Amino acid sequence: MKTQIELAREGIVSTQMATVAKDEGVTTEYVRQMVAAGKIVIPWNHGRKPLAVGIGKGLRTKVNASIGTSSDIVDYEAEVRKAKAAQESGADTLMELSVGGDLDRVRREVIAAVDLPVGNVPLYQAFCEAARKYGDPNKLDEEMLFDLIERQCADGMAFMAVHCGINLYTIERLRKQGYRYGGLVSKGGVSMVAWMLANNRENPLYEKFDRVTSILKKYDTVLSLGNGLRAGAIHDSSDRAQIQELLINCELAEIGREMGCQMLVEGPGHVPLDEVEGNIQLQKRMSGGAPYYMLGPISTDVAPGFDHITAAIGAAQSSRFGADLICYITPAEHLALPNEEDVRQGVKAAKIAAYIGDMNKYPEKGRERDREMSKARRDLNWEKQFELALYPEDARAIRASRTPEDEATCTMCGDFCASRGAGKLFAGDLRGDKI
């Protein structure tokens, strides 16, 4: 079966492209052209057929939620609940990133629980299985790795973060710059670096990239080029090792597209705000406009417990300057395995950030809802405010918990409600729908 990019290049508008066009309010021909150019991807899988979600140029910024077990906490039912909570809270995609327990079981149960496109990182399970089988993850056999990638795709993965851009040259850049302030923070990246150094061999995912691409192409699974050397501290952002990996991933994105595989490029984790725009411009220029999947980005290192906020600030900037998919961050980041409530908070913060970014990325069509909300607040139209809110039930719950004496106002101002007072003064001068 052909991939979305192959169909688009033949002038065919797939059912998935038509769905994306309708959801986004753009023409089917626009979506087809952008898919053909590799500037829009639609995470898919011929065997599973998830919801059709478009990621890329001219579309809303999407939000990914990541869940998964750890070696300390293995609760299959909890992961299913977290998956459902992510979808209910508005996540557009989901990543299943377990490293503890029966990894096939948790992946399959999560996939069955939602209809979102689900992605993963195959290196996690590969090194877990090698450690269990041989007592040493560095004894991972590359055939075992490629077989695992195939098995996971067969289970229905719609996209897959594969660490192809780490090679011996990038490791040398890391050493020559004097390592890092924040070290290496990617589990898959560290594991692959350790394997390469222990075996004195090149990364097989880089060395045999055509094989990786061929497997994912068979299922029309999007290949997301993993960011294994991403910065775990803002002082490491844009260092030589990270930029070298980005360069390689951008080159691989071009090669993968030519092979007929849909391609995403992943971006850095911790980025100060003054570097966000430049990072995105660099990725877009080097990759020929491939969709960019930003991990966070976390914009300061000193707010553990509130990293869903530090990431939302970075995500809004990223969305504004052209990022296409944002990976949420939860309040538990750097502290603990996220629970169900952390997932909900993380998704909501990221969705709000993406909305703010899109307002500025697409000002001609992205601000009407805000104007309507302004009028509803001015007119003390509470039902209209809830209707327009991104998360109406949360807003309703807060208002209901502190009921005002006068239902037209709220307990913030009560008798001193500015909107009510000003409304009486300027009742004959309302702009209404004049603009």
Single out the residue of 202, 217, 92 nearest to residue 149, CA to CA: 217
Report whether 227 contacts 186 (CB < 8 A): yes
C-alpha span between 55 and 300 (Å, rounded): 27
Quick check: 141 pLDDT over 70?
yes
Q: Are residues 69 and 155 in the same domain?
A: yes
* pLDDT at res. 425: 83
In a domain, 434, yes or no: no
> What pLDDT does residue 372 have?
95
Instruction: State the pLDDT at residue 430.
Output: 72
**Residue 369 corresponds to which tokens in the numbers above?**
């809802």
Kindly state whether residues 257 and 393 are assigned to the same domain: no
Structural domain containing residue 420? 368-429
What does the CA dihedral 145, 151, 153, 155 come to, rounded to 10 degrees? -150
- The dihedral over CA atoms of 267, 273, 276, 277, expressed in degrees to the nearest 10, equals 170
Question: Do 241 and 351 belong to one domain?
Answer: yes
Does residue 435 surpass a pLDDT of 50?
no
Task: Give whole-number Cα distances, 224 to 207, 213, 252, 398, in Å.
Answer: 17, 11, 10, 39
- Quick: pLDDT tens for 418-428: 988 888 888 87
User: Among 331, 361, 391, which residue terminates a domain?
Assistant: 361
194 domain residue, yes or no = yes
Closest CA to 221 of 150, 292, 290, 158: 158
% of the chain surpassing 70 pLDDT: 99
CB of 66 closer than 8 Å to CB of 296: no
* pTM greater than the 0.75 cutoff: yes
Q: Decide if pLDDT at 319 tops 90.
A: yes
Calculate ∠ Cα 87-93-99, nearest 5°: 95
- Which pLDDT value is given to residue 428? 77
119 within a domain of the structure (yes/no): yes
Average of pLDDT values for 20-46? 98
Mean pLDDT of 281-303: 97
Does residue 261 share a domain with residue 391? no
Q: Tell me how many domains the chain contains.
A: 2
User: Of 169-183, 198-212, 354-368, which range is least confident?
Assistant: 354-368
pLDDT at 200 over 70: yes
Compute the average pLDDT of residues 221-233: 96
As beta bridge partners, residue 294 has 326
What does the alpha-carbon distance between residue 363 and residue 433 come to, in Å, rounded to a whole number?
Answer: 19
* φ, ψ for residue 226, nearest 5 deg: -65, 150
Among 321, 336, 361, which residue terminates a domain? Answer: 361
Task: Please report whether residue 331 resides in a domain.
Answer: yes
pLDDT at 432: 63
Task: Let me know whether 207 and 244 are in one domain.
Answer: yes
Does 188 lie in the same domain as 108?
yes
314 and 407 fall within a common domain: no
Say if residue 215 is in the same domain as residue 263: yes
At 433 the pLDDT is 55
Query: 303 and 401: one domain?
Result: no
Are 410 and 352 in the same domain?
A: no
Give me the pLDDT at residue 421, please: 84
Strand partners for 295: 327
On whether both 417 and 348 belong to a single domain, the answer is no
Q: In the predicted model, what is the mean pLDDT of residues 112-136?
A: 98
- Of 192-201, 327-336, 366-375, the range with the lowest mean pLDDT is 366-375
Mean pLDDT of 362-374: 89
Tell me whether residue 435 is in a domain: no
Buried residues in 110-148 as b, exposed as e (16+ CB within 10 A): bbebbebbbbbbbbbbbbbbbeeeeeebeebebeebbeb
CB 149 within 8 A of CB 162: yes
Mean pLDDT, the chain, rounded, equals 96
- For residue 270, the domain's CATH number is 3.20.20.540
| Residue where a domain stops, chosen among 346, 361, 376 | 361
Percent share of the chain, pLDDT over 90: 91
Considering the domain architecture, whether residues 126 and 93 belong to the same structural domain is answered as: yes
